[in-house]
Amino acid sequence: MMKLVSLTWLILITILSHTPGDKSSEESRWLSKLILVDEGLLRKSAHVVCFTVLMAFSLCGWGKWAGICVLAWSVIDEYSKPLVTGRHADVRDWLLNVAGCILGYGVWFFL
């Protein structure tokens, strides 16, 4: 079951992170107003949260080797963004993805 959950989460975050820039900004503005959080904070924390969840789900479903795959995906995900209109790769965003991976590993380890 966790394999399916982790694959579904991977697909979801990939779709969200590869949404064209103008639509992504519009969605972020709407959500930030709805939950009363600064848009910049929302966008940056999304990297950490998404990869924390992906790492924890993937490790639970696929085992330890999944961690390497999730870390590799964090690079692919970030550096494929220039292929999408209005998006760009950012080392700081990738580092936030890695921070999420580390947190997700911690969650999995202590479960």
What is the model's pTM? 0.93
pLDDT at 111 over 90: no
pLDDT the model gives residue 99 = 97
Angstrom distances, CA of residue 5 to CA of 18, 45, 97: 20, 21, 19
pLDDT the model gives residue 63 = 93
Percent pLDDT > 90 in the chain is: 96
Closest CA to 14 of 61, 76, 68, 94: 76
Average pLDDT estimate for 45-70: 96
